[in-house]
Amino acid sequence: MFRKLFLGAAGALALATSPASAAQYQFNIFLPPTNFIWPVLKTWASEINTKTDGRVDIVFPAQSVVPPSRVMDAVRSQVVDGGIMANIFLPPSLPGARAGMLPWVNTGDAEAASVALWDTYEKFFKGKENWSGLKLVGLFQYGKAKFCSTINRPLTTVSDLRQRKVWALPGVNAQVLQRMGVPVSASPAVHIFELVSRNVVQAFVGIPAEGIVSFKAGPYTKSCLDMKTSLSSVGFSMFFSQAAWNRLSPDDQKTVMKLSGDHFARMFGKAFDAADKKATHELKAQGVKFVPIDPALAKALKAAAQPTIDDWIATVTKHGIDGRAAYDFMAAQTAKLTKADAAK
C-alpha cells in the first residue's frame, strides 16, 4: 500500500535523475538544499565513491520524496535506497538512537555529542534492536537546543513560564514543560516563524542557534538561557534499505561503514559546530542576550525532566540492556569528548 502511495514520487524521481544502475543509490535528505548538511553528505558520498573505485554512487534527490516523518517507510519500501531521519520520529521499539536527545547530556559540542551517541549505540545497542528492513550506518546530533524568550523579559521563574505560551519541539521539550504546567504549542520546527512573528507564543525551546537563524526566528528572539547542558537536542539516524545494502559487496559494505559511523559523526559535528557558532554570533549582533539560568528554574526543569530519563531507562531495560549504564555512559562520553575538543 505504501509503495503505491509513493509510486508517483518514485516516478518523478526517476525522471529527474540519470537512469538507475546497480552502482547508484538514491539517498533522501528531507532538509532543504540550503542547509549546511548538504555539503557534508555530498562529501561523504564522494569519499565512498572514491574509496570504492566508483562502484558505489550515492546521489541525492533535489527535494525530499516524502515528509520528514515518513523517511523510514520510504526507505523500507525502496522508494529511495537510503536517507536521514530525525530521531523524534523513530518508533518506541528503537530507543537506542534517542540517547542523545535525553536531558542533560548535550554540552553544546555537536562533534562530541555525535561521536558519543555512536559510541553509546555501538557499546549498548548494536545487534539488540530490530531495524526491520533497514541497515543503520550512522547517528549524529545537533548541539544544545536553546530556550528563548520572544518578549523583553527574560525567562526567570516557573511562574513566569506558566504565564506564557511556549512553542516546543515535540518530544522531550514538550513533555517536560507540560509536566510543569506550562501552556505548550508543540509542532515541527518549520512552524516556529509563523508562531513567533505573530506573537502566538512568547517563548520557545527545542532548536539550536543554527535553527533559530535558518528558520528566521532570530529577529523575534530577545534572550536565551545560558545552560551548561541542555534540556534536549535534535538527533538523526542515517540508514539504507536492507535490500540496497545487500546489493553491496562485502568489501564495499566495509568501506561504507568505515566512512559512516564515527567518521561521519565527526564530520557532521564539526560542520554543525561551525554553523552554530556563526549563527550565535549573528544572534548576538541582532541584540539577543544570553543570560545565565536562574538556579530555581534550573532545579524545577531538572525535576520535571527526571521522569523522561527514568522512562527511557525503563524502556531500554525491558530490551535487556542496562539503561542506567547507557545513560551515564552517554553523558560521561559527551563530557569527555567535549573536554578533549576544547583542549585542541
Give how many domains the chain has, as a whole number. 2
DSSP letter at 97 equals G
pLDDT score of 89 more than 50: yes
For residue 4, pLDDT beyond 70: no
Instruction: Identify the pLDDT of residue 344.
Output: 78
Both 174 and 85 in a single domain? no
Tens digits of per-residue pLDDT, 25-61? 999 999 999 999 999 999 999 999 999 999 999 999 9
Query: Would you say 98 and 235 are in contact if contact means Cβ atoms under 8 Å apart?
Result: yes
Q: According to the model, what pLDDT value does residue 66 have?
A: 96
Q: What would the pLDDT profile of 267-325 be if each residue is shown by its tens digit? A: 999 999 999 999 999 999 999 999 999 999 999 999 999 999 999 999 999 999 999 99
Can you tell me the distance from the alpha carbon of 311 to that of 98, in angstroms, rounded to the nearest whole number? 12
What DSSP letter does each residue of 278-319 carry, written as one string?
HHHHHHHHTT-EEEEPPHHHHHHHHHHHHHHHHHHHHHHHHT
| CA 6, chain centre distance (Å) | 25
| In a shared domain, residues 186 and 330 | yes
pLDDT digits (tens, 9 = 90+) for 230-254: 999 999 999 999 999 999 999 999 9
Predicted confidence at residue 15, as pLDDT, reads 37
Q: What is the DSSP letter of 237?
A: E
pLDDT at 199 over 90: yes
Whichever domain contains 154, its CATH number is 3.40.190.170
Q: Is 171 left (phi over 0), alpha (psi -120 to 50) or beta?
A: left
Percent of the chain surpassing pLDDT 70:
94
Residues 21, 97 share a domain:
yes
Mean pLDDT, the chain, rounded, equals 93
**Total residue length of the chain:** 344
Residues 186 and 249 in one domain: no
Q: How confident is the model at residue 23 (pLDDT cuts 50, 70, 90)?
A: confident
Whether residue 19 has pLDDT greater than 60? no
Are β-strands 146-149 and 134-141 bridged in parallel, bridged antiparallel, or unpaired? unpaired
Measured between alpha carbons, how far is residue 180 from residues 157, 166, 202, 300 in Å? 11, 12, 16, 8
pLDDT at 11: 46
Last residue of a domain, one of 220, 241, 275: 275
Residue 291 belongs to a domain: no
Residue 183 and residue 317 in one domain: yes
CA angle 304-306-307, nearest 5°?
90
d(CA 215, CA 234): 15
Report whether pLDDT(2) > 60: no
| Helix 37-51 vs helix 250-258: crossing angle, to nearest 10 | 140
